[in-house]
Amino acid sequence: MAGGWYIRPAGPGTRPRPRADAPPRRRAWASFANALDPLRSDRPAYPICISGPTGAGKTAVSRFAVRELRRETAVNTAHVDCLRTRSRAAILEEALVDAGLKTRSSPKADAASSYLAQMEDADSPIVLTLDEAEHIEDEHLPHVLFEADGVTPLFVVHEYERFAARLDAATSSRLRTGPHIELSRYSQSELVDILQARVDAGDLSGITDGTLELIADTAAGNAREAISILREAYLEESRGTSESRRR
């Protein structure tokens, strides 16, 4: 547990603490990194799907793995939130903009095809993360991306089987040829580690280990909820400290 991503504080009986730059859910991150390995050798990668409940770290894992790949290679990367951007043309346009690849505007009637062509014409392949992918309006878009040259789609979803069932048989089969990384809710100790890293990085004085454990229990495995509670706890502590000083 006290490997390169951990710091062991001085003093007896202290538990190792995660570094602020440690990857989220290291085992899942390692699986994700392995799935992206072909791109490190200029070879195409299979489509990747990561699934799990809200607050399980899906977006954090995918962002970390893609960021590390970007540091090591010349691939282009884009991240699109499909809860907010749902149509085929809008998703492809946002992907181009996020990757810095949009070179021209397109007539509305032919926008999606034009945006896809711009992706395929890029000098380097693109890794396209579709977050909240179950909200994509066009159920044929995954098939289009599978057939596109130089595009590796990463799907971030809550329920893998439900997402796969939306696709036609051939596209679903193609999805299943690629890696599926499934996340469960965080354990209490994992949440405490996440919160401790936030405390250390932000110098949140006044937040004790007991407070972190209570927050982790309350959040019930949801990291997003735990971080929100931590923020509120720190603000409450700060307000109390300020009032004491004024008295």
Give 23-71 pLDDT, tens digit per residue.
Answer: 567 888 889 999 999 999 999 999 999 999 998 989 989 999 999 999 9
- Alpha helices per DSSP H over 111-220: 111-120, 141-147, 160-166, 169-177, 188-202, 209-219
Percent of the chain clearing pLDDT 70 (strictly above) = 83
Q: How confident is the model at residue 5 (pLDDT cuts 50, 70, 90)?
A: very low
List, for residues 129-166, the tens digit of each pLDDT value: 999 999 999 999 999 999 999 999 999 999 999 999 99
| The three-state (H, E, C) secondary structure of 57-126, written as one string | CHHHHHHHHHHHHHHHCCCEEEEEECCCCCCHHHHHHHHHHHHCCCCCCCCHHHHHHHHHHHHHCCCCCE
Mean pLDDT for all residues in the chain: 85
- What integer pLDDT is reported at residue 173 of this predicted model? 96
Residue 116 has pLDDT above 50, yes or no: yes
Which segments of the chain belong to CATH 3.40.50.300? 26-182
Q: What is the dihedral of CA 197, 199, 201, 205, to 10 degrees?
A: -150
pTM, full prediction: 0.79
Q: How confident is the model at residue 247 (pLDDT cuts 50, 70, 90)?
A: low
List, for residues 207-240, the tens digit of each pLDDT value: 777 888 888 888 888 888 888 888 887 777 666 5
Computed from CA positions of residues 35, 36, 40, 43, in that sequence, does the dihedral angle turn out positive or negative?
positive
User: What is the distance between the alpha carbons of residues 186 and 221, in angstroms, rounded to a whole number?
Assistant: 4
Q: For 205, which DSSP code?
A: T
DSSP β-bridge partners for residue 51: 157, 182
Q: Is 166 exposed, middle or buried (0-12, 13-18, 19+ CB in 10 A)?
A: middle
Q: How confident is the model at residue 2 (pLDDT cuts 50, 70, 90)?
A: very low
**Backbone φ/ψ region at 184: left (φ over 0), alpha (ψ -120 to 50), beta:** beta
Contact (CB, 8 A) for 17 and 194: no
Q: How confident is the model at residue 21 (pLDDT cuts 50, 70, 90)?
A: low
**Residue 234: how many other CB atoms lie within 10 Å:** 18
Contact (CB, 8 A) for 96 and 112: no
Residue 10 has pLDDT above 60, yes or no: no
Q: What is the dihedral of CA 79, 132, 186, 202, to 10 degrees?
A: 40
Domain 26-182 has CATH 3.40.1190.20: no
Backbone angles phi, psi at 47, to 5 degrees: -60, 145
Amino acid identity for residue 91 in this structure = I
User: Minimal CA–CA distance to 124: which of 175, 74, 69?
Assistant: 74
DSSP E strand boundaries for the chain? 6-7, 17-18, 48-51, 76-81, 126-131, 151-157, 180-182
- What integer pLDDT is reported at residue 100 of this predicted model? 93
Query: What mean pLDDT comes out for the span 180-185?
Result: 93
More confident call, 242 vs 46: 46
User: What is the distance between the alpha carbons of residues 46 and 147, in angstroms, rounded to a whole number?
Assistant: 11
Residue 9 has pLDDT above 80, yes or no: no
More confident call, 173 vs 227: 173
